[in-house]
Structure 1
Amino acid sequence: MTSADMQVEVAYALPERQIILSLQLPQGSTLTQAVTASGLLQRFPDIDLATVKLGIFGKIKQAGEVLRDKDRVEIYRPLIADPKEVRRKRAAEGKKMRSQKDS
């Protein structure tokens, strides 16, 4: 690693496993460049850089954001269910079960 390089990680999580790759990139590299260099686009063709959200340590960032040494780039999958709707359904089911117990 030269003084002009930085160490970053690229993370992608699937329901059954998580992948975290360490990379050396030149200073000034962007999130998109890190994802491309990671090789994850070839391993997982369903990742579409035009539509996928990217972030650094849990905060969504623009694809062109410049990375810093030791950053972790995260590739976010789209949600399959609206979390608010899931909580509403769970709460409604809980109320229904409690009312049945009281009967």
Structure 2
Amino acid sequence: MNITLVYASAPRTVHQLALDVPEACTLEQALALSGWIQLHPEVQGLPTGIWNRKATREAVLREGDRVEVYRDLRVDPKVARRERFVGQGARGAGLFSRRRANSKAGY
């Protein structure tokens, strides 16, 4: 059974491995077979998923699954967006940033 393992250890650094595993293999067994637990010890405590959906380590894999290991975010996306908006200013961003002359706000 063929699966793909994906792990981004750092920004702009992606490790991808195509792996042949036996039938009824669990996610934990696939990580052990790949050798990533020894190569990247931090993988042991990180959350995992299959095709962008969270999955436990006991989940049984199917043919063609994409197993993903998620690292923690350094910045909350909502906070980052809020900070970008503050830097741009209320008039320079958003849907109504370019108004026609002499028009009402929001139109």
**TM-score normalised to structure 1 length:** 0.79
> Structure 1, residues 28-69: CA drift from partner, whole Å, max 9, x if none?
111111111111111112222xx3110111111111111000
**Alignment match, 1:58:** 52
Q: How many residue pairs were aligned? A: 91
What amino acid is aligned across from residue 8 of structure 1 in structure 2? I
Structure of larger gyration radius: 2
% of aligned pairs identical? Answer: 36
**Alignment match, 1:72:** 66
**Matching residue within 20, 34, 40 for 2:16:** 20
Specify every segment of 5 or more residues in structure 1 that has no aligned partner in the other structure, as ranges: 1-5, 99-103
**What is the alpha-carbon distance in structure 2 between the residues aligned to residue 78 and residue 95 of structure 1?**
29
Q: Secondary structure at the match of 1:64?
A: coil
**Matching residue within 3, 6, 28 for 1:11:** 6
The answer to whether residue 70 in structure 2 is matched with residue 44 in structure 1 is no
Deviation at 1:16, TM superposition (A): 3.6
**Alignment match, 1:32:** 28
**What is the alpha-carbon distance in structure 1 between the residues aligned to residue 32 and residue 54 of structure 2?**
18
CA RMSD of aligned residues (A): 1.6
**What is the alpha-carbon distance in structure 1 between the residues aligned to residue 80 and residue 22 of structure 2?**
43
The 1:7–1:92 alpha-carbon spacing in structure 2 relative to 1, beyond 3 Å, is same
Specify every segment of 5 or more residues in structure 2 that has no aligned partner in the other structure, as ranges: 93-107
